[in-house]
Amino acid sequence: MSHEFIIALDQGTTSSRAIIYNRNAEPLCSKNKEFTQFYPHPGWVEHDAEELFESQLQVLKDVIEICAQRNNCTEDSITQKVAALGITNQRESVVLWEKNTGKPVYKAIVWQCRRTSDLCEELIKDNLTDTIRSKTGLKIDAYFSATKIKWILDNVPGVRARAENGELLAGTIDTWLIWKLSGGKVHVTDLTNASRTMLFNIHSLKWDKEILKLLNIPLCILPEVKDSGCIYGYTDKKVCGFTVPIASAIGDQQAALFGQGCFNPGDAKNTYGTGCFMLMNTGEKAVLSSNRLLTTIALGYQGTVNYALEGSVFMGGATIKWLRDELELIPSAHDCDILAESVENSNGAYLVPAFTGLGTPYWDMYARGTIIGLTRGVKKAHICRAALEGIAYQVADVIECMVNDSGKPLASLKVDGGACVSNVMMQFQADLLNTKVIRPKNVETTALGAAFLAGLAVGFWSGKDELLKCWQTDNVFEPQMSRETRNTLYSGWKKAVERSLNWENGACK
């Protein structure tokens, strides 16, 4: 039976998604399931790794069932037509689990979690900033996986001894999913996810023994590192109900870069997900930024490694979720758009969503969220608009760094992610950047990137040229704002950010 489908698993920070694609890279069926967020202390964020996996497994089974119903056939006939499974995932979040039972020894610590800020301060005071950056391309920050792993080893009773005895395994979320889907047969990660741990040397392409020693993390718990597109193993029939190759694993932002067709040096995209992440492809050269951007691996494929410059915004779409769930200001994310469009501007209000610190270019672990510029005339609609604008302002901060590093203005910005469906935010983004913003018809390019790589790995698609033919534009937002207005608004944003910096004790600048 000829293969007709690729399935992508998109494991995000707040939900798990599965999508079935055909040969034209059209999404045929999609299913999404949210899972629980745990906030045991201020600035701490955790996931139940078992619940996370079960949510991902459930949506995988759901899309197969949906596809079978739509095609009036059995689920077995659908799975027999699946060429491969691809995985993309929230990066930096980590799980440690028992090798024999598969039981996590602690909840997954999420990339947003700031519990290791003090440890990062100690590393900075020990003058390790340049060492870490030169090897990993990253800035010392609680954002990355390394100090999260160390925290579990140091703070969960008995875990360190068991890890050193070879009884435990560790990994980012891709590693956890592959291990579970394969029935515990495969312990592996890809180059992009490894490059986000702050433990991986992006030049030698190996786990860095010096950093491991500094943090007292045993090498034996870490996974094997492979290309982003290759056959890692196969799904276990007892777990999934069918057997297909697991043929890609790639961090969500790198997946979006690939899914947007940013194959060449200079190509750039921004993903508006839980956070916002802008990547610029720099080709086979690892470029160290002079403007506090990160250097990361964009892709490992067929023995060739491409690098990227990256800017990270911790709170993107999660800001809208905060309005909905914590403040209960809106019943749905779409209502944020409706309210924001009902007013011409934010009426002088600025919302700096530094709930878990600020990323690029501030790298302030101690910044906290603020709403400033409030007057009696500010209504709920203005707060909603300020929230959307706050996301766009953070993206502008990152792009300013990229322009300064490259020495060239940005010709355009490709966008994706769930929050980019907001027309009012995309228009404001174009106005703020004074450049066109291009939104594709398929905004789920993170999942698409994983599907593309899995398809290439098993010969489902012939090459990148065929992939580019699948990419279609939905809308192009042209800048309409005057320079004077743009400069005034951005100046106000910078002042608002200053009020949020270093709110907690300590500083990381």
Return d(Cα 112, Cα 124) in angstroms, integer. Answer: 20
Question: Reduced to 3 states, what is the DSSP secondary structure of residue 37?
Answer: coil
Position 508 pLDDT exceeds 50? no
Collect all residues with Cβ–Cβ distance below 8 Å to 234 and sequence separation of at least 6: 182, 243, 244, 245, 246
Do the beta carbons of residue 204 and residue 191 sit within 8 Å?
no
- Per residue in 331-375, pLDDT (tens digit) is 998 999 999 999 999 999 999 999 988 988 998 878 999 999 999
Tell me whether strands 304-313 and 276-283 are parallel, antiparallel or unpaired: antiparallel
Q: 205 — alpha (psi -120 to 50), left (phi > 0) or beta?
A: left
Cα 280 to Cα 271: distance, rounded to the nearest angstrom? 12
Q: Are strands 304-313 and 294-301 parallel, antiparallel or unpaired?
A: antiparallel
Per-residue confidence band for 501, with pLDDT thresholds at 50, 70 and 90: very high
Q: What is the mean pLDDT of residues 14-42?
A: 93
**Gap between the Cα atoms of 438 and 474, Å rounded:** 8
Above pLDDT 70, what percent of the chain? 99
* Strand 304-313 versus strand 350-352 pairing type: unpaired
Q: Which residue has the tokens 């980019």?
A: 420
> Which residues neighbour 294 within 8 Å (Cβ) at sequence distance 6 or greater?
137, 138, 139, 309, 310, 311, 312, 360
Residues in Cβ contact with 288 at an 8 Å cutoff, skipping those fewer than 6 apart: 133, 134, 137, 295
Chain segment 387-433, per-residue pLDDT in tens: 999 999 999 999 989 888 877 777 789 998 888 899 999 999 999 99
Mean pLDDT along residues 75-84: 91
What sign does the CA torsion over 21, 457, 52, 205 have?
negative
The values of phi and psi at residue 446, to 5°, are: -65, -50
Could you give the 3-state DSSP secondary structure of residue 177?
A: helix
Q: What is the pLDDT of residues 254-301, one digit of tens each?
A: 998 999 888 888 788 998 988 888 998 888 988 888 888 999 999 999
- The pLDDT of residue 507 is above 50: no
What average pLDDT does range 48-59 have in this prediction?
Answer: 97
Report pTM: 0.83
Would the pLDDT of 104 be above 70?
yes
pLDDT surpasses 50 at 509: no
Q: Residue 337 contacts by C-beta under 8 Å, 6 or more apart in sequence?
A: 384, 388, 422, 423, 424, 425
pLDDT at 472: 84
What does the pLDDT look like over 157-180, one tens digit per residue? 999 999 999 999 999 999 999 999
What confidence tier does 505 reach under pLDDT thresholds 50, 70, 90?
Answer: low
Tokens of 153: 């080893």
pLDDT (tens digit per residue) in 446-472: 899 999 999 999 999 988 889 988 888
Q: What is the pLDDT of residues 229-259, one digit of tens each?
A: 999 999 999 999 999 999 999 999 999 899 9
In SS3 terms, 337-404 reads as HHHHHCCCCCCCCEEECCECEECCCCCECCCCCEEECCCCCCCHHHHHHHHHHHHHHHHHHHHHHHHH
Question: Residue 145's pLDDT is what?
Answer: 96
The pLDDT, as a whole number, for residue 404 is: 84
- pLDDT at position 329: 93
**Residue 443 pLDDT greater than 80, yes or no:** no
Give the max Cα distance, the chain. 67
Residue 268 has a pLDDT of 83
Q: What's phi and psi for 296, nearest 5 deg?
A: -140, 165
The confidence band for 1, taking pLDDT boundaries of 50, 70 and 90, is: low
pLDDT at 292: 86
